[in-house]
Amino acid sequence: MVSKLIALEAYPHLKDLDFRILRGVELNMRHHRWVPLEDIARFARTDVETASHRLGKLDSWELVRRRSDIGYIGYQLTIHGYDVLAIRAFSRKGIIEAISTTQIGVGKEADVYAAVTPGGKRVAVKFNRIGRTSFTRIKLYRRDFMDKRHISWLYISRLVAQREYDALQLLSPVARVPRPIGWNRHAIVMEFINGVELADLREGELSREDAEGILDMVLDEYERIVEFGVVHSDMSEFNIVITEDHDILIIDWPQYLPTAYPESIEYLKRDITVLLNSFRRRWRVEKDFNEVWNRFYNAWTRSRGG
């Protein structure tokens, strides 16, 4: 399902006041499910009437949501409003100059769009659309989560983006992953990868021998990453990209776990199972699970200083 970047339709119409209003809604959502109109007006340094008028516009562009049956008039930021704030931040920091409304990547938990930097370089912007799997994984990684009463999607999707940015920073000097360029709120900007997702290759497009070669490259690469101390935990044919020059890249890292976490061994085992199964099912590449698993188990143990 390809979706348009709704944030971009409103963006050209927005004034400085609108951005202040959106910021006011965002910040106050830490304390309110529905942020009172008065608080927003105060934050935006304007009167209630003007704030209400602009919020009506922002509502019609789907950047905020309004509610009046709660004893007062309150507003919430929508995901599109959050997109607007992230795009504005990237633009002010000189990270991106323009972004395309057409989606390049449709994933499970994110929408990815092409953009260009002020220097004319093509980059990818990944906006998190928070889902269940990364949430479960993050709970494991960030136990302090469990104590929070009011866990908002704002907070979680921001944490998810930060984690992926951290993973890419950690790994890009040593492994074939996209180079990270910037991070803001629930979005990251990274090097644009020209290539095709392994999952998008049809049966006839890849011979069994070529598929076997690719699997070997992926296993070698992943073994080095595990030895370095990181488990992907969402490894699949959807997260492997084959570039024009027949190289492979492993993408989509927000749910990574350091091998220092004992639980990471279970995720590693699942990653290897998923990989071998999909190559067997689609290209009849047979690999002995135990043999491969031995390699990875050893790499995992070595990474923990064992």
Active site residues: 234
User: Any contact of residue 26 with Mg ion (CB under 5 A)?
Assistant: no
- In this complex, which beta carbon is closest to Mg ion, that of residue 18 or of residue 197? 197
Looking at 96, 168, 190, 248, which residue binds ligand ADP (CB under 6 A)? 190
End-to-end Cα separation, the chain, in angstroms: 45
Residue with smaller CB distance to ligand ADP, 44 or 188: 188
Instruction: Say if CB 140 and CB 112 are below 8 A apart.
Output: no
* 176, 233 Cβ separation under 8 angstroms: no
Which region, judged by CB under 5 A, interacts with Mg ion, from 5-13, 48-56, 88-96, 245-253?
245-253
- Contact set for ligand ADP, span 25-84 (CB under 6 A): none
Across the beta sheet with 64-67, the strand order is 35-36, 74-77, 64-67
Mask of contacts with Mg ion, 208-227, x by CB under 5 A?
A: --------------------
- The interface partner of residue 178, options being Mg ion, ligand ADP, none and the CB cut-off 5 to 8 Å by kind, is ligand ADP
Pull the structure tokens for residue 57.
């516009």
CB 84 within 8 A of CB 28: no
- Shortest separation between residue 231's beta carbon and ligand ADP, angstroms: 16
Residue 110 found at the interface with ligand ADP (CB under 6 A): yes
Among 95, 252, 264, 285, binds Mg ion (CB under 5 A): 252
| Kind of pairing between the strands at 248-250 and 240-243 | antiparallel
- Contact flag: residue 36 with Mg ion (CB under 5 A): no
Q: Is 107 in the site for Mg ion (CB under 5 A)?
A: yes
**Residue 190 interacting partner from Mg ion, ligand ADP, none (CB closer than 5 to 8 Å by kind):** ligand ADP
* 208 half-sphere exposure, CB direction, 13 A CA radius: 7
Report d(CA 1, CA 123) in Å as an integer: 22
Angle at 181 between CA 180 and CA 185, to 5 degrees: 95
Sequence-ordered list of residues with C-beta below 8 angstroms from that of 105, at least 6 positions apart, any chain:
111, 112, 124, 126
**Nearest distance in Å: CB 277, ligand ADP:** 19
Count the Cβ atoms, other than its own, within 10 Å of residue 96.
Answer: 21
Phi, psi of 182 (to 5 degrees): -165, 165
Least distance to ligand ADP, CB of residue 140, Å: 17
Closer CB to Mg ion, 128 or 239, in the complex: 239
Contact with ligand ADP (CB under 6 A): which of 75, 238, 267, 283? 238
CB proximity list for 251: less than 8 A, separation 6 or greater: 177, 178, 193, 239, 240, 241
User: Is residue 138 a contact residue for ligand ADP (CB under 6 A)?
Assistant: no
Q: Which stretch binds ligand ADP (CB under 6 A): 1-9, 23-31, 100-108, 280-288?
A: 100-108
**Residue 258 interacts with Mg ion (CB under 5 A): yes or no:** no
The residue ranges that bind Mg ion (CB under 5 A) are 107, 238-239, 252
The residue ranges that bind ligand ADP (CB under 6 A) are 104-105, 107-110, 112, 124, 126, 178, 190-193, 197, 238-239, 251-252
